[in-house]
Every structure is written in C-alpha cells, then in structure tokens.
Amino acid sequence: MTLMLILGAVAAFYGLLLLFRCATYALPLFAGLGLAFTLRDQGFGWMVILAVGLLAGVSVHTLGRHLARGSAPLAVRLGVILIFVGAAAAAGFQVGVALAMLADLNPWTQRGMSILTAVVTGYAGWRDLLSPGGGIERPALHS
C-alpha cells in the first residue's frame, strides 16, 4: 500500500511537471481540436480533419509566439499573452481540480489547490511563450 502511495505521488508530480512544460500548447490544442470537430460535423474526411486541425494548432502557436515576442504594439502583445496565459491557467485549474478530487480533500482545500495550480501553470505558459528557445533548452556548443 505504501509503495502505491509513493508511486501515485511520483506520477502526480510528473504529471504536473508535464503540464507546466506544455502549458503554452493549451490554446493551440484547443484551436486545432475545435476546428477538427467543426470539420467532422460538416462531413469532411479524416485526412482533411487531421491535416487542418494540426495546421491550425501549429499556426496559432507560431503566430502567437511571433506576435508576443515581435514588435507589435503593446496592446496586441498583451492581448496575445493574456489569451495564451488564460488558456494555460484554465487547463491548470482543471488539472488542479482533478488532482484535488483524487486526493479526496475538503472543498476549500480543493479550490485553493486548483487556484494555485492555475496560477503556476499560467506563469509557466507566459514564461515558455516569451522564451527565445520556445521553451526547449538547447545544449550549448563548445568550441
């Protein structure tokens, strides 16, 4: 039983780290999935749905990074950053709710844990959106 608790805690911690690492991709994922479901409801084939959904997600991510880090006006940059951070925080809140419910915490602790997870995930999304390497650490080349 103790081993299961330890492994469960390690799995939850790893899941949170993965969430923080992928926080920037929440909005592009939702955009791609939303367009894919719309195309599915319109009767398009699976190849078109997959191609357009993937293209939409990549386009939203690329355009968002370009606008957030580029020389766009401050209002545009802040708007794009807030949209990406808001989507990441919403995803983090839902993960916090799920983990708190799995831990069978009282309602106020669940809400506090969910809000804390949302804030940290939003910060991780903001950091990865504005980082020069796209959130991917590249090894330094030694001469």
pLDDT band, residue 6 (cuts 50/70/90): confident
Domain tally, the chain: 1
- How far is the C-alpha of 7 from the C-alpha of 4, rounded, in Å? 5
140 occurs within a structural domain: no
126 torsion bin: left (phi>0), alpha (psi -120 to 50), beta (else):
alpha
Q: What is the pLDDT of residue 16?
A: 75
pTM: 0.76
Using the predicted structure, report yes or no on whether residue 132 has a pLDDT greater than 80.
Answer: no
CB 28 within 8 A of CB 60: yes
Q: Which tokens in the block code for residue 57?
A: 């997600």
DSSP track, 30-86: HHHHHHHHHHHHHT--HHHHHHHHHHHHHHHHHHHHHHHHSS--HHHHHHHHHHHHH
For 93-105, write each residue's pLDDT tens digit.
998 888 888 888 8
7 occurs within a structural domain: no
Q: What is the pLDDT of residue 136?
A: 55
Q: Which tokens in the block code for residue 116?
A: 């804390």
For 18-57, write each residue's pLDDT tens digit.
877 788 888 898 999 999 999 999 999 999 999 999 999 9
Domain containing 73 equals 17-130
For 116-130, write each residue's pLDDT tens digit.
989 988 888 888 888
